[in-house]
Amino acid sequence: AGADCGQDCLAELDLLSRVWAAQGQERDRVQLLYVTPTGITPPALAAPWLSHAREAEPAMPAAARVILIDPEGYGATWYPAAFDGTELRKDLRHLLKWSKSGR
């Protein structure tokens, strides 16, 4: 995390890391991107979905702290600050199952 990541940000990154780890064998299908006002880390991973994210940006509220992106690069859902890791884990498992079935 960069210098612009305070205590709340660090807590959210920790929660994201735990949600990612909870995916078990499916976690290789999940990528975490750290997006800040100054950029995206790592930048190369962001390229496939940036154009879709920009198209959806007006629909994304300013409160969106975590955005779940589907395999096609579209925002599937978003979570505000102090989000519930249980809901994110449930939504992520559903998205992984859905994308694996090819629907």
90 pLDDT band, cuts 50/70/90, is very high
Q: Give the C-alpha separation, 62 to 57, whole Å.
A: 9
| Residue 1 domain-assigned (yes or no) | no
Please tell me the total count of domains within the chain. Answer: 1
Top mean-pLDDT range of 10-14, 30-34, 42-46, 58-62:
10-14
Please list, residue by residue across 63-93, b when 16 or more beta carbons sit within 10 angstroms of its beta carbon and e when fewer do.
ebebbebeeebebbbbbeeebebeebbeebe
Tokens of 7: 């205590």
In a domain, 52, yes or no: yes
Digit-coded pLDDT (tens) for 44-77? 666 665 555 555 555 666 677 788 877 777 777 8
Contacts (Cβ under 8 Å, ≥6 apart) of 23: 29, 30, 89, 92, 93, 96
Domain assignment of residue 16, given as a range? 7-100
* pTM of the predicted model as reported, rounded to 2 decimal places: 0.70
